[in-house]
Amino acid sequence: MSKIDTIKNVLICGGGLMGSNIAFVVSSVKEYEITVYDKFPVDVEAKIRMSTKQLVEKEIVAPEELEERLSRIHFTQDIDSEGVKNADLVIEAVFEDINVKQETFALLEERCRPDCIFCTNSSVMSPSWISEKLTHRERFVGTHFWNPGHLIPLVEVVKTDATDDETAETVMDFMRKIGKSPCLCKKDVPGFIANRMQHALWREAISIVENGIASAEDVDTAVKTSFGLRLPYLPPLVNSDLVGTTLTYQIHSTVLKAIEDTHEPSPLLKEMMDEGKLGFRAEKNAEGKRVGFMEYTDEDIEKINAGLNEYLIKMLYNK
């Protein structure tokens, strides 16, 4: 049975990009007091003000609501503080390093109450691995938030082989309560749910370019102007039902034999890395552009980065 009603004090461990945005999201529930613990000095309030600027400008969050929410988010560098000892639920978002994560949870287990729920926000590391040295693994679960954490609705709640049902149910309820759309990943598998699908698509996209079937530009255009456009409305399994199971079976009988099934990264990626074609992270070429699958000026890069939040806000809030 869910213990959602017992949760009042939430500890966010790590006040970086993800931790600060997660703290803001948790503060949407008025009864929650939030502590952000970080080993290093970080200005969590400034980070939240920065990332929520567009939400305030577009009147999705009122200025007074932001102030009230910030007043319930307390920062500490003291692992022995009351916010750590009194936590009912912890969400860890420290560096993506197994030693840092395991050491952090060892310190927390010594200090937190015996019924405290532990969540890890690792994007690729297995929650079973992160929790392997803990005594109470039944109260440990993965919670994969997506960046930008204050906007993307999905949180994958990942059970390990030891997570008990009560913990999983409580964390699912908690995510719903803070306004997220949680999905339960019943097995601790690499890529959880969404990244398995996302990277199956990337593998095929790269393979189409590698095999000279289409240009990189045309691959992206094909996605944006066809199934990508209708995907939030018609996701794959409803789409399969819509066309009918028989047609899906027939299409797969032909297409699956032809599409990419390698279990290794594409040699094209290695070639591009050797040539310094690192996308937004590439050095500028003679024309002042950074090269990956496509070429970008600094202006292009700025526009794409800034435009993402605008696009998400339009999709989510119609503003």
Ligand X SMILES: NC(=O)c1ccc[n+]([C@@H]2O[C@H](COP(=O)([O-])OP(=O)(O)OC[C@H]3O[C@@H](n4cnc5c(N)ncnc54)[C@H](O)[C@@H]3O)[C@@H](O)[C@H]2O)c1
Burial of residue 135, with CB atoms counted within 10 A of its CB: 0-12 exposed, 13-18 middle, 19 or more buried: exposed
Token representation of residue 289: 């552009």
Is 39 among the residues that bind ligand X (CB under 6 A)?
yes
The answer to whether residue 309 is catalytic is no
Looking at the Cβ atoms of 94 and 117, the one nearer to ligand X is 94
Nearest-angstrom CA–CA distance, 226 and 246 = 22
Secondary structure class of 224 (helix, strand, coil): helix
Least separation in angstroms between residue 20's CB and ligand X is 8
Q: If you compute the radius of gyration of the chain from its CA atoms, what whole number of angstroms results? A: 22
Looking at the Cβ atoms of 180 and 219, the one nearer to ligand X is 180
The only residue of 1, 5, 30, 40 in contact with ligand X, by rule CB under 6 A: 40
Annotated catalytic residue, options 2, 28, 86, 195:
195
Least separation in angstroms between residue 100's CB and ligand X is 5
The answer to whether residue 21 is catalytic is no
Least separation in angstroms between residue 91's CB and ligand X is 10
Least separation in angstroms between residue 70's CB and ligand X is 18
Least separation in angstroms between residue 298's CB and ligand X is 22
Footprint of ligand X on 14-33 (CB under 6 A): 14-19
Cite the DSSP H helix spans in 134-280: 165-177, 194-210, 216-224, 227-230, 236-243, 245-255, 267-274
Secondary structure class of 247 (helix, strand, coil): helix
Mention every residue, 6+ apart, whose C-beta is less than 8 A from residue 128: 160, 161, 162, 188
User: x/- site string to ligand X, residues 70 to 99, per CB under 6 A?
Assistant: -----------------------xxxx---
Q: Point out the residue whose Cβ comes nearest to ligand X.
A: 16
The answer to whether residue 28 is catalytic is no
Are the C-beta atoms of residues 181 and 159 closer than 8 Å to each other? no
Give the binding site for ligand X (CB under 6 A): 13-19, 38-40, 42, 93-96, 100, 104, 121-123, 145-147
Active site residues: 123, 144, 156, 195
